Amino acid sequence: MMQEISDQSSRTVLLNTFIVKKKRCRVYFHRGTLIWETEKPPYTRWTLPMTDVLAVRYGDDWIHGINFKEKQLTTSPTSPTVCPTNFILHYAVHGPKNKWSHHSVTMSHTDPRQVASWVKTIRNYLMGLTHRPRKILLFVNPFGGKKKGLKIWEKDVQPLMTIAGIETKMLVTERVNHIRDILLSTDLTDFHAVVCIGGDGTLAEVINGLVLRTSRDRQIDPNNPEANLPTPRLPIGVIPSGSTDTVAYSLHGTTDVQTAAIHIIFGDSAGLDISSVHNDHTLLRLYASMLSYGYLGDVIRDSEKFRWMGPQRYDYSGKYIS
């Protein structure tokens, strides 16, 4: 039988036996940590902090062959319509070179009421992690870098967002400053974060758009070089797919796409200094990575007409700029 206890902090403790990878395991949940260990030798123990859990979902095993959709399920332990006999924990593992990867483990029990109770408890805990985004506005630059932005969204990012239960409004950019214009005109009230799939230029558009929008909302003139520009309410996430991904690398320690998506799901955040360039009393640009003038500026400007070459356009332009 499952034991359910509440400590002085009203934090639930669960204990039960599940089948994990064809082995009977005692599974504990206490103080934000999930532990499972084999009942028989060779004894093996796994510890999983809930902060590393992406989501918990019902599995594919159902009693009596009934196949209800998950959205129709009730998690009430007393309801006769609760039919799944296993659940799947989706979690992330921190590996070498700062990379995070998605993993999952299935836990099975003969009593679907126990499965429903565990799923409800774990989901309630995850819902308490209020810094995690529930709804994001995501921009995809299909032209940046090697033009893999849409493929990255479809193959790597969208499946993880679906698993984590994050509602995503995805928009594909069509032109320069498209992101900035959307951020200046869209109602952002219901969003918890703005994310872009692209390179440093795409990220710069998001930064410029959000800072300008926040300045306008707070009646601060961004063209005044002496003004303290406000920090946007919404955090910004970047999933690298550009020719250069220096900001993503600086934030995550890697340009791995799955790592970036996992950090966004976790709601991880870090401060980022940005600078502004003014000409007289006109704001030209906000930037977070590099400002170039002279040779490097000429190379970047010339390379724009060779975007079809991908990252190699910088070397090509650099060779012929004198």
Fold of the domain built from segment(s) 1-63+83-128:
PH-domain like (2.30.29)
Q: Which residue has the tokens 């406000």?
A: 230
User: Which of the residues 52, 156, 200, 245 is marked catalytic?
Assistant: 200
- CATH 3.40.50.10330 boundaries in the chain: 135-288
In this prediction, residue 144 carries a pLDDT of 86
What's the rounded Cα separation, in Å, for the pair 217 and 124? 35
What pLDDT score was predicted for residue 305? 74
Region(s) of the chain under CATH 2.30.29.30:
1-63+83-128
pTM comes to 0.85
Strands 33-38, 45-49: pairing kind: antiparallel
pLDDT of residue 104: 97
- Options 1.10.357.10, 1.10.3720.10, 3.40.50.10330, 3.40.50.1820; CATH for 135-288 is 3.40.50.10330
Q: What tokens does 77 get?
A: 């332990």
Can you tell me the distance from the alpha carbon of 105 to that of 34, in angstroms, rounded to the nearest whole number?
A: 12
Catalytic, 200? Answer yes
Give the pLDDT confidence score for residue 64 in this predicted structure: 41
Q: Give CA–CA dist 140/205, Å, rounded.
A: 12
Residue 140's CB is within 10 A of a number of other CB atoms, namely 24
Residue type at position 130: T
Cα Rg, the chain, nearest whole Å: 24
State both tokens at 280. Answer: 């007289």
pLDDT digits (tens, 9 = 90+) for 108-119: 999 999 999 999
Q: What is the pLDDT of residue 52?
A: 98
Mean pLDDT of successive 10-residue stretches along the chain, which has 322 residues: 38 91 96 95 96 94 44 44 84 98 97 94 95 98 91 98 97 96 97 97 96 98 96 97 91 98 98 92 90 74 71 71 69
